[in-house]
Amino acid sequence: MKFNVAGVVMEDEAGCGGVLRDDIKVACALFFCAIEAMGSEMAEVIDIKIDLGLFISMGWPVKVPLVNESSLRFALEWLLEMNYFSWTLQNLFIGIDCGFNQLCRVQFAVTHWQDNGIADALAKASI
């Protein structure tokens, strides 16, 4: 399964969106929502947390590996260095870490923003 995710910040509003696709690229789930985030990097990290929760709630994590594609490499770097952030972000990263622990395998990939078109459009629609 592959999740394409996008987080968008416009002025004082933020939103995120995602598309879950199977191995033959058929969309299985779509989501978008308004979020509270300061900056597009944080919006993408929040988006990843929402994706994990959605994927886990479907009951697939022990059977199917998850690939999460994002157009912001900074968000992925944040996840790799989550121990270095202030205590104000700890709940966010603890939630993501708990999600990782429930998966059989997770992989992150950076993709060109144009390859994330539907996820980006969903994120923009939420604000």
| Tens digits of pLDDT across the chain (127 residues) | 777 777 777 877 888 888 888 888 888 888 888 888 777 777 777 877 887 888 788 776 667 777 777 766 666 676 666 655 555 566 676 677 777 777 767 777 776 656 666 666 776 677 6
pLDDT for the residue numbered 97: 72
Which residues is 8 bridged to in the sheet?
15
**Tokens 């395998």 -> residue:** 105
pLDDT for the residue numbered 80: 67
- The DSSP symbol for 115 reads G
The alpha-carbon radius of gyration of the chain (Å, integer) is 13
Domains and their CATH numbers in the chain: 2-125 (3.30.420.10)
H-helix or E-strand spanning residue 42: helix 40-57
Grouping H, G, I as helix, E, B as strand and the rest as coil, residue 45 is helix
Instruction: Residue 31: count other Cβ atoms within 10 Å of its Cβ.
Output: 20
pLDDT for the residue numbered 119: 67
